[in-house]
Amino acid sequence: MVSNRFKFCENFFNPSLTSGVKIERPRGTRDFLPDEMEKRRVIEKKLREIAESFGYREVSTPTFEHSELFKLKSGEGIVEEMYVFKDKSDRELALRPELTAPIMRFFVNECSNLPKPIRFYYFENCFRYERPQKGRYREFWQFGVELIGSDSYLADAEVIILADKMLKSFGLDYELHIGHVGILRSALSFLGDNASKVMRFIDKRDEEGLKNYLTEIGVGSEMREKIKAIMNLKGGREIIEEGKKLVNYDFSYLEKLLDILDSAKVTYTLNLGVARGLDYYTGTVFEFYAKDLGAQKQICGGGSYELAQLFGGVRTPATGFAIGFDRICELIDAKAERRTTVVVAYFKGLEKIAFQVAEKLRNSGFVAVVDVMERSLKKQLSYANDINADFAVIIGEEEVKKGNLSVKDLKTGEQFAVKAEEITTCLFELLKR
């Protein structure tokens, strides 16, 4: 009598007796076909090259961290937006929702004694549990930099110039808005602990919510109008004079920063309503907005901040930004440089020679594809056309006896014999035509 266990195994491995369950990808994630991946790699490569030309070096941190890291940076409310789980030792961990906190944790733990300033860049995937929509996913990628150890306006200038150069290199149509949270905080200092919540209303551009909240906490109409005026103050350098009338603050830091940006021919809008909404920002803040993305138009954001002390280090100034990689991929029509593809087709029994010829072609820089399905020569050539190959190298018994190979130009249909040792030279000559 056949055991039930054996019956299960027999059924499991017999496709005629079982049907698989189709499993969809998780909501808010994507699969990328080869064409899309090639495009993403082209964009990524350019970002890396530009970052490295400024002296930034790549670092990488774990995909998951202790959830406390992100709570310390952004508050308990961040938990609702994170993928949080407990490991087998009952430690609460989280998939990283962003990368600034991990980089600063890494800096405090392992890099705080390195010569300053430290220039890091990263390119990693992040995870947020939120409603997926166009340009916004639960798994997404960020390319960013952190310049750690300088509180000078020159550090802010370098980081903004770097971000601008990256986006400009792709020919994107965007606007750069620059603000300063020190100016806003000075204007709101009379609110005490309520100032942070007001900053969040300003960051979201929620004028109605801001008005209601200010009324609720007893702020008079004159002061409400003043805050609204600061929030909506934007334009060229000329608005600094208006800002000085509204806020008792030293604008010299901002003026020196703008001098550098002007000399570097960076186009910007000075916008005192850019708040970035988080308490750890200390001075300059900036955001880049694409003109072709609708509601999800921010493609890059950053500013100067202090986080090291939250993670057990000494207070350390830093400036950084993160580019929404997925969003710029939607805007950029980038194509990978196409390599010449050769299909090595062969008659049955000549497989070893086919693999040897293919390896010779690969070592010379060609993409060489060998049939691994034991198909006829006719079907191999048909496949070569299906994948849009440039050439076919045909290996036949008579050719092998004479030390020859046949080369077929799949674009023109032209075919001729060539000495086996001259195959790569022949293909290079054909490419010059």
CB within 8 Å of 399: residues ≥ 6 apart = 405, 406, 417
Indicate the burial class of 274 (C-beta count within 10 angstroms; 0-12, 13-18, 19 or more).
buried
Q: What is the mean pLDDT of residues 26-54?
A: 95
Query: pLDDT digits over 157-193, tens only?
Result: 999 999 999 999 999 999 999 999 888 888 877 887 7
Query: For residue 54, is pLDDT > 80?
Result: yes
Query: For residue 433, is pLDDT > 90?
Result: no
Yes or no: say if 163 and 323 are a contact pair by the CB < 8 Å rule.
yes
Amino acid code (one letter) for 5: R
Least confident of 70-79, 87-96, 99-108: 70-79
CA distances, 347 to each of 103, 163, 427 (Å) = 56, 55, 21
Query: For residue 55, is pLDDT > 90?
Result: yes
Q: What is the mean pLDDT of residues 192-208?
A: 78
Query: pLDDT digits over 100-144, tens only?
Result: 999 999 999 999 899 999 999 999 999 999 887 776 799 999 999
Q: What is the mean pLDDT of residues 265-282?
A: 85
Alpha carbon of residue 226 to chain centroid = 38
Percent of the chain with pLDDT over 70: 94
pLDDT score of 223: 80
Outline where 265-350 has alpha helix (H).
325-331
pLDDT score of 334: 82
Q: CA 414 to CA 409: how far, in whole Å?
A: 5
Structural domains present in the chain: 34-331 (3.30.930.10), 341-432 (3.40.50.800)
Indicate the burial class of 216 (C-beta count within 10 angstroms; 0-12, 13-18, 19 or more).
exposed
Q: How many CB atoms lie within 10 A of CB 95?
A: 21
Q: CA 393 to CA 344: how far, in whole Å?
A: 5
**DSSP secondary structure code for residue 410 in this structure:** T
Query: For residue 419, is pLDDT > 90?
Result: yes
Yes or no: say if 257 and 284 are a contact pair by the CB < 8 Å rule.
yes
Q: Please give the model's pTM, rounded to 2 decimal places.
A: 0.87
Alpha carbon of residue 31 to chain centroid = 16
Amino acid code (one letter) for 334: A
Between 215 and 354, the more confident residue is 354
Amino acid code (one letter) for 165: K
Per the DSSP assignment, residues forming a β-bridge with 292 are none
Q: CA 12 to CA 367: how far, in whole Å?
A: 39
Q: CA 177 to CA 165: how far, in whole Å?
A: 15
Query: pLDDT digits over 292-323, tens only?
Result: 776 678 999 999 999 999 999 999 999 999 99
Task: From 151, 125, 145, select the one nearest 53 (Cα to Cα).
Answer: 145
Q: What is the mean pLDDT of residues 268-281?
A: 82
pLDDT score of 89: 96
Q: CA 8 to CA 27: how far, in whole Å?
A: 33
Q: φ and ψ at 212, to 5 degrees?
A: -65, -40
Query: For residue 366, is pLDDT > 80?
Result: yes
pLDDT score of 14: 57
Yes or no: say if 153 and 77 are a contact pair by the CB < 8 Å rule.
no
Yes or no: say if 353 and 395 are a contact pair by the CB < 8 Å rule.
yes
Give the mean pLDDT of the chain: 90
Query: For residue 13, is pLDDT > 70?
Result: no
Query: pLDDT digits over 210-259, tens only?
Result: 888 888 887 777 787 888 888 888 999 999 999 898 888 899 999 999 99
Per the DSSP assignment, residues forming a β-bridge with 127 are 139
Query: For residue 364, is pLDDT > 70?
Result: yes
Confidence of residue 3 (pLDDT cuts 50, 70, 90): low
Please write down the long-range contacts of 19-27, taking CB distance under 8 Å and 24 or more positions apart. Answer: 26/138, 27/132, 27/138
Query: For residue 198, is pLDDT > 90?
Result: no
Query: For residue 1, is pLDDT > 50?
Result: no
Task: From 402, 350, 412, select the one nearest 380 (Cα to Cα).
Answer: 350
| 3-class secondary structure, 202 | helix
Residue with tokens 């030309």: 53
| 3-class secondary structure, 397 | helix
pLDDT score of 185: 83
Query: For residue 18, is pLDDT > 80?
Result: no
Q: What is the mean pLDDT of residues 37-54?
A: 97
Query: pLDDT digits over 318-347, tens only?
Result: 999 999 999 999 899 888 888 999 999 999
CA distances, 30 to each of 33, 133, 254 (Å) = 10, 12, 41
